[in-house]
Structure 1
Amino acid sequence: MSTRKNFDPEFKREITQVYLEGRRTATSLAEELGLHVNTIYKWAEQFKTDPENAFPGSGNLKPEDAELKKAQRRIKELEEEVEILKKATAYFAKNSK
């Protein structure tokens, strides 16, 4: 059974820059670090897409993802409130007759 290795964002950034600058190949880096070569490619793609927020870390989200999650949570709360109010309206309408 293998254990998953966790690398901090700074380490990923350094390895990615070494690969992207052409100083080392993804294959040689992967062999040295004991990773699959696709991991290096994935890190490089994340870095090229958004260098500032490429590796947010475990449990952390990019700012736009955090906003989206907050909005989704608020929508769910409001939908629950609407359901409660519908039930309350039906209850009072039924009992007011």
Structure 2
Amino acid sequence: MAKPGRIERCMGRVEFRAAEEEILHMHRMGYANKHIYAKLAEEGKLSLAYSTFNGHLRKLLQAKSPTHPDKKPTLIVDKEASMVFTIPSNGNI
């Protein structure tokens, strides 16, 4: 049984998943996490804590982002300068 003022265990995840499409749409539109949370909480779609919301959103975005763990970084060797440059496999410099 949940304490007064709290939701049942794991129900925050259920609420988050129910609003997942709207959350992702607002995130793609450029809304900050706190604005997404505030809007959905005001509409009564979320009653979980803001920190829990951020944790679920972070996990969701990590799962949606493309990753290539088997791809190795590219090495560029400048023989004249005797230097080796590494280019990350994810394209970030």
TM-score by length of 2: 0.29
Larger Rg: 1
- Greater helix share, 1 or 2? 1
TM-score (norm. length: structure 1) = 0.28
